[in-house]
Amino acid sequence: KRGLAPTAANYRHFALTQRGLVVGFPLGQIAGPPCGRVDVLVRYRDLRPYLSRLGQTLIAGVRPSR
């Protein structure tokens, strides 16, 4: 339950990708360790209404990886 609380520590592993914001959770944070690491993708189209100007600028600058 506390593994998803809205704290900076719980969401410190993230990446801005071409497809959206990916948030990673360490082993055991939101599920038992045998389940493995959990990564969640949130598409930018779903995030846009909640982004500040800085957030919009950051996602506009996402480029393909080489």
| pTM assigned to the model | 0.77
Containing H/E element for 55? Answer: helix 53-60
Using alpha carbons, select from 20, 22, 51 the residue that is nearest to residue 39: 22
pLDDT in tens, 3-59: 788 999 889 999 999 999 999 988 888 777 777 788 899 999 999 999 999 999 999
Contacts 24+ apart (CB under 8 A), 6-12: none
